[in-house]
Amino acid sequence: MQDKAPLTAGPGALSGLRVVDLTRVLGGPYCTMILSDHGAEVIKLEPPQGDEVRDWGPPFDENGDASYFVGVNRNKRSVGLDLAKPEGREVLLRLLEGADVLVENFKPGSMEKWGLGFEELLSQRFPRLIHCRVSGFGASGPLGGFPGYDAILQAMVGLMSINGTEDSGPTRLGTPIVDIATGLFSAVAILMALHERQRSGKGQYCDMTLHDCGMALLHPHAANFFLNGKRPVATGNPHPNLAPYAKFATATGEIFVGVGNDPTWRKFCAFLGLDHLARDERFATNGARVVNKPALMAILAERFAPEDGHELCLRMLAAGLPAGPVLGVDQAMAAAHTAHRGMVTEKDGFRALGTPIKLSRTPGGTRAAPPRFGAHTREVLASRGFSEEEIARLAEAGVLVEARRR
- At residue 347, the pLDDT reads 87
DSSP-derived secondary structure for 198-238: HHH----EEEEEHHHHHHTT-TTHHHHHHHH-PPP----SS
- At residue 406, the pLDDT reads 83
- At residue 2, the pLDDT reads 46
Give strand pairing partners of 248.
255
Rounded to the nearest angstrom, the gap between the alpha carbon of residue 363 and the centroid of all alpha carbons in its chain is 19
CATH architecture of residue range(s) 18-218+345-396: 3-Layer(aba) Sandwich (3.40)
Quote the CA–CA distance of 2 and 4 in Å, as a whole number: 6
- At residue 1, the pLDDT reads 38
Q: Give the CA dihedral 102, 107, 108, 113, nearest 10 degrees.
A: -90
179 catalytic, yes or no? Answer: yes
Using an 8 Å Cβ cutoff, are 339 and 331 in contact?
no
Using an 8 Å Cβ cutoff, are 340 and 2 in contact?
yes
DSSP-derived secondary structure for 146-175: ----HHHHHHHTTTGGGSS-TTT-S---SS
Quote the CA–CA distance of 143 and 164 in Å, as a whole number: 27
CATH architecture of residue range(s) 245-334: 2-Layer Sandwich (3.30)
Give strand pairing partners of 325.
255
- At residue 3, the pLDDT reads 47
Indicate the residue type of 17: L
* Cis-peptide, bond into residue 220, ω within 30° of zero: yes
Instruction: Label residues 233-263 b or e (16+ Cβ within 10 Å = b).
Output: ebbeebbbebbbbbebebeeeebbbbbeebe
Q: Which of 51, 100, 179, 207 is catalytic?
A: 179
CATH 3.30.1540.10 boundaries in the chain: 245-334
The model's pTM? 0.92
Rounded to whole angstroms, the maximal C-alpha distance in the chain is 84
- At residue 237, the pLDDT reads 86
Give strand pairing partners of 41.
18
CATH 3.40.50.10540 boundaries in the chain: 18-218+345-396
Q: Are strands 323-325 and 205-209 parallel, antiparallel or unpaired?
A: unpaired
- At residue 7, the pLDDT reads 53
- At residue 238, the pLDDT reads 86
Q: Give the CA dihedral 159, 160, 162, 163, nearest 10 degrees.
A: 120
- The list of the chain residues with pLDDT below 70 reads 1-9
Choose among 207, 194, 182, 222: nearest CA to 33: 182
Using an 8 Å Cβ cutoff, are 236 and 165 in contact?
yes
